[in-house]
Amino acid sequence: MKKLATTLPGLLLLEPRVFGDDRGFFLESYNQRTFADLGITDPFVQDNHSYSQENVVRGLHYQILQPQGKLVRAITGEILDVALDLRRHSPTFGKWESFSLSGENKRMLWIPRGFAHGFRVVSATTHVLYKATDFYAPEHERSVLWNDPALGIDWGFTGETAGAAIVSGKDQLGIVFQEAEKFESSAWG
């Protein structure tokens, strides 16, 4: 597993070793020992699978209790995956970074507890799989508004895709970052 540089501490872009031949390919998407060597020791308790069409934006989600670390990958299609640092005492608090994850590049993103997470579907459709370190708790889930102008997240909408975002009603009600709950819990680092 190759670890690629990111600008946010704790956020890891991972590139698995892919073994391919004329029959197809094989890759190891998770190995507890390998991930421990990378510093990811959180146990995973839930796997999720999302299917979406082009220009769907999901997020930016986080949980105020039972915060989740997530290991995210697109197995078909392509997404622009976004992580926003909500760790109040982090030197990158309020900063975001985005990455292309696709069935073709096979990259994965480790998003530790203390980040809000979201993605935009770039391809016609995509299947996204992610492992979570804590259970989904809808009563504790919050959303930062995906298009908060103060954050200036570049979701890659240009030209004919400008204004084409497909966003759930729940995510349209997300709050701006300035009003989002800030975290001091030791679980958030």
Q: Which residues contact 136 (CB under 8 A, 6 or more apart)?
A: 46, 48, 63, 68
Identify the active-site residue in 61, 62, 127, 140: 61
30 carries an active-site annotation: no
130 carries an active-site annotation: yes
Tokens coding 87: 């760790």
Cα atoms in the 13 Å half-sphere on the side-chain side of 115: 27
| β-strand partners of 27 | 18
Q: Is the peptide bond before 60 cis (omega within 30 degrees of 0)?
A: yes
Identify the active-site residue in 49, 51, 117, 130: 130
Tell me if 132 sits within 8 A of 67, measured CB to CB. no
* H-state helical runs in the chain: 32-37, 169-172
Rounded Cα gap, residues 66 and 114, in angstroms: 10
Which residues are identified as catalytic? Answer: 61, 130
